[in-house]
Structure formats: C-alpha cells, structure tokens
Structure 1
Amino acid sequence: MTSRVVLVSPATSPALREARFDADCSIDERGAARARAAAGSLPRAARVVTSPGARCRETAAELGLRGEDAPGLAPLDVGRWRGRTLDEVGAGEPGAVARWLTDPTSAPHGGEAVQDVCTRVGTWLDAAARVDGRTLAVVEPEIVRAAVLHALGLPAEVFWRLDVPPLTATELSGRAARWNLRLGRPLVAPDTALDG
C-alpha cells in the first residue's frame, strides 16, 4: 500500500507578518482571499485534519475543507514567548534565542523543544502511513518541517533551515516507511493551475 500525506501550510496572519510567536491569531483578509482563490486546487483526500489552532482551521475552511483537529499536529509550544516578537525576545534573551535556534533539545521559553515536536509529529506520520487513502493536513510550518525531517531521516539540527511559505503543499508518498518528498507546491486557483 502506498501512503500519501499532503501537508498544507496555512494562510498569512498578522503574527506571521510581524515575526511574532503566534498566540492563536486568525488569518488576515489577504490570506483568506488567497485561500478562497485556491479552493479546489488540492487532491481529494480520504481524511482531512488540521493543527488545532485558529490559523489552520480558518485556512481549511477558506479552502473549502472540513477537517478534524489532530492534537498530535499542534503547533510548537513556545511557552512564555507566545505573543512576543522575535526581536523583543532576542533583545531581552539573546543567549536563550541562540540556544533555541541551534540546540533542538533546548526549550528556554519553558515550552516544547524542537526535538520533542519532531518526535510527536513523527509518531503521527507513522500512524498516518497505515491509513488507507490520502491524508490532507492543514498544519503550521513547524509541523511541515518536523514531518519532512522524520520522513527523510534528517537530524533535528536542520529544522530551522527549512522554509515553508504560506499556502503551499508538501507531499509525502511511500511504502513501508520509505517516503518520497515533493516540496512546497504553491496552491493556485484551479483555472490557473495549467498556466505556469
């Protein structure tokens, strides 16, 4: 059986535009409009799930998808940094930010370490591989990063080196835990999909 998992990154939000650690912000109107325009661009799926947060739920709704929250795909818990900008945290705690960005086992914010989110998402991905049919998941960028690391057997140290733009699809397919990867396909309106 070939497993297929399509990971969709959510639309833009004010927190993303401000480089702010997300505090469960909604998507902005521009992101919502782009998601509505891309509705119908994703393949059919036997199962649709979302990260349990406003941005992912709203993106799924604008894409015309109905999904259930998947707790295993929750965003990275940044503890007491939640709601603050990276510049604010960096100015007040430069050593902590440097440690967090270079050591995947570090969680100076009191939340979750990168290694922990990678393990959690890897467990979810292994379970998804045993589900018949395609799984479509609207998830935060850090969840896409963690899934790619797990699928390819990459070390957690490269986590922050993977960029995941808004409203892109990352596709994993494979058998017996040997995944193939198709990175960052932009979601486009179905009538323009053949133009480029």
Structure 2
Amino acid sequence: MSMMFYSPGWELAVDSPGSGELLITTVTDSTATGTVTDEKWYRAYYGSQVVQFLAAVTARALCDIAGRVGHEDLPAFLTPDVARGLLPTLQKAVLLTLAGSDRYERVFPDDGRAPAEPLCIRCHKGSFFPYLAISSEWCEQFGHRAFGTSLERWEEAHEAYRLNREGWKRTETRRRESRKSPQLRLPDASGGGEE
C-alpha cells in the first residue's frame, strides 16, 4: 500500500512500504500546504540514505551541524524552523519506508480501527498480508514473539489482543447506539414550567 505524506511545503512518497525507498519533493505551487521555498527540490533516498537524511534533518531541527546525506548537503532553505516542521511527518514516512505496512499500522493505528492481532517478528504470523508469513524452525521450537510488546509469550499477546478487541467492540457499540438514540431533553434549569 503506497502512501503519501504531506507537511507544509513538502510531499513524501512511500511507493513500496518496507522497500527502503523514500521520495521527497518540495511543494512550490500550492496554497493548500504552504511552501518552504520557490525552488523545486526533489530527492530519492534508499536504504541507509533514508536514515542519514532523517538524522541530518533532526540535527538541523536541533540547530546542530546537519552533516551530509550521501554526497549532498541539505538544501539552504532547510532552516531549523523548516526542519522542525518537516520532522514529525518525515519520522512517520521513514518508519513506513523501512519497517513496512504491518509494523507501521501497529505503531500508528487508524482512529476507530479495530486493534490488530499480534504480529510475529520472526515468521510474520498475524500479518495483514498472509503471503508474508513463512514457516520458522525457531518459532516451531521456541514459540512466536509478538512485535511491539514486552509480553514474553505469544499466548499473552493474544490474550491482550482479545481484551483490547472486546473493549474496542464495546466502545463501537456505544458509539453506534448514541448516534441512533435521540438526545434526551433535560428540564429547564430555571425550574420554571409552562405558563
């Protein structure tokens, strides 16, 4: 699932999550997102370059020496203020670029979406994409290990998931029922009735 990220003056594209490819460009002709420069600036970063760019933008945001990304310096228009504006969006795009959809969607779940079942970090059991699951001798011998949790056992991760899902279902049911039922009218606070 490809995804576009927007930050005022920037577009970040992740065409293939988990592939290590991040495309970044400035927006120079849109009033909807604002601009950071009149200069059209475009870069494609791959693998370790993605992390180097993130580190350089972070350093610039903290008013530190930005260093180099590959063989290029950061653009002059990337001031500390501009870097601070870009950084939260860049962090999300980098996570999707390097970790892929399964992990990204568990770290940044959509509001209102049901909790995701546990994802094994070794064999990808529980993946949103079943074709990614592979057999693992390690998992067969020692058990699965759930992504993003301190729970030691796979069964504990599933129990936590079951409880979270039940809580989510109750919340969704209450939300739907509150939309269906008419609002109760409370009596006038003044205590006065009809005359």
Same fold (TM over 0.5): no
Which structure has the larger Rg? 2
How high is the TM-score relative to the length of structure 2?
0.26
Q: TM-score when scaled to structure 1?
A: 0.25
- Larger relative contact order (Cα-Cα within 8 Å, sequence gap ≥ 6): 1
